[in-house]
Amino acid sequence: MHLQIAVLPGDGVGPEVCREAVRLLRALNSFYNCEFEIKERPIGGVAIQATGSPLPESTLQACLNSDAVLLGAVGAPEFDHLSREQRPEAGLLRLRSALGGFANLRPAVSFQGIADCSPLRRAKVEGADVLIVRELLGGLYFAEPRGFSANGESAYNTMSYSVEEIERIARVAFDQARMRRKKLTSVDKANVLETSQLWRRTVTEVAQAYPDVKLEHMYVDACAMHLISNPTRFDVILTENLFGDILSDEAAVITGSLGMLASATIGGGTNLYEPVHGSAPDIAGKGIANPLGAIASVAMLLRYSAGMDHEAADLETAIQNVVNAGHRTVDIAGERQGHVATTREMGELVENAFVAMLDRRFAYHAV
């Protein structure tokens, strides 16, 4: 097997966490009769500096010609003054729409070893395992019309969804729920918004094909509250683009750090994998960023783009084991004294744990 992976490190801590994520792909290269061929390309602020565009044509082409895309982060304060289409974030949004993936999967899991890092009480977060399925190509992020009025004194965006857009994301969420605890919470604002009324009606219709999955509807404001007051009540959360953006950052509180969260965007031509955290300019270049979200995104890549389910699960176990063994980057160190791991040390620890698991798998296969 030969897989072309486009790696777009981007801005801020993006390059640091990507370096550690790529380490895991390279580790696999030495084990299997497979090859992950990695092509690095610029996106976001670094691409603006190099080429004037946040998504240069050569980056876009490399992504379209790859089997998967791994992205670090985009955004930097020095570009805040630019217009929307010129900002680093525009490069990411253009890439998402070009790749066509409409289903953004964002798992948030509480690990035993760092349950105390959450500002929520351990008893509240313990056992929490939520998957947010965020619609990624519609709603306020993309729908037209949008803009400023002629005199600049008012501005507008459009929240619109078609039945087709809702059906396809709902099916992904139901399929995911089927593979998990078979509970789906569809989140909307149907007491106020027409798009949410259509959302609710459509999801209810799609549910007919999934009688084994228990569906509930919840308003987004209530969900924001339940997500932190009772996170273990959730299995899969299905929601539209902006609600999903907000709720997934909130869900990070369950895990203890935004640095822990991975994501996969599926459903289009080429899948896109990115940690949920941003470019974190305040800690960029210091070698202290948490690479586990990026590494867990590689696990999702193995699952959804390489068909390597066992290795994906091994990598997720390796991450858990390293954390449960007491290793910490600064964001999950909490009150603890003692050594705090750098980005690279954390990457190496996970690599060693993962390679040990692959060794065992190979020894087993060899007999």
Binding at 89: pick from ligand IPM, Mn ion, none (beta carbon under 5-8 Å per type)? ligand IPM
Q: How many CB atoms lie within 10 A of CB 284?
A: 18
Q: Residue 318 and residue 23: Cα distance in Å, rounded?
A: 14
Q: Residue 200 and residue 189: Cα distance in Å, rounded?
A: 9
- Read out DSSP for 165-192? HHHHHHHHHHHHHHTTTSEEEEEE-TTT
Binding at 92: pick from Mn ion, ligand IPM, none (beta carbon under 5-8 Å per type)? ligand IPM
Nearer to ligand IPM, 89 or 240 (CB): 89
Closest CB 328 distance from ligand IPM, rounded Å: 24
Pairing of the two strands 271-273 and 264-266: antiparallel
Contact between 66 and 4 under an 8 Å Cβ cutoff? The reply is yes
Name residues whose C-beta falls within 8 Å of residue 14's C-beta, 6 or more positions apart in sequence.
8, 44, 71, 72, 73, 74, 279
Binder of ligand IPM out of 92, 117, 262, 357 (CB under 6 A): 92
Given the residues 141, 161, 273, 304, the one annotated as active site? 141
Given the residues 245, 273, 304, 314, the one annotated as active site? 245
Nearer to ligand IPM, 71 or 332 (CB): 71
- Of 196-255, binders to ligand IPM (CB under 6 A) are 245
Closest CB 360 distance from Mn ion, rounded Å: 37
Closest CB 75 distance from Mn ion, rounded Å: 10
The order of strands in the sheet holding 103-109 is: 35-40, 2-10, 68-73, 271-273, 264-266, 103-109, 129-135, 236-239, 183-188, 214-219
Closest CB 136 distance from ligand IPM, rounded Å: 7
Contact between 299 and 316 under an 8 Å Cβ cutoff? The reply is yes
Closest CB 28 distance from ligand IPM, rounded Å: 26
Partners of 40 in the β-ladder: 7
Binding mask 52-91 for ligand IPM (x = CB under 6 A): ----------------------xx-------------x--
Nearer to ligand IPM, 45 or 347 (CB): 45
Nearer to ligand IPM, 74 or 237 (CB): 74
Q: Catalytic site residue 245?
A: yes
Q: Quick one: which H or E segment has residue 58?
A: helix 57-64
Binder of Mn ion out of 16, 188, 235, 245 (CB under 5 A): 245
Q: Residue 247 and residue 275: Cα distance in Å, rounded?
A: 15
Given the residues 221, 286, 309, 359, the one annotated as active site? 221
Q: Catalytic site residue 182?
A: no
What distance lies between CA 355 and its chain's CA centroid? 24
Given the residues 11, 161, 188, 189, the one annotated as active site? 189
Binding site for Mn ion (CB under 5 A): 245
Catalytic residues: 141, 189, 221, 245, 249
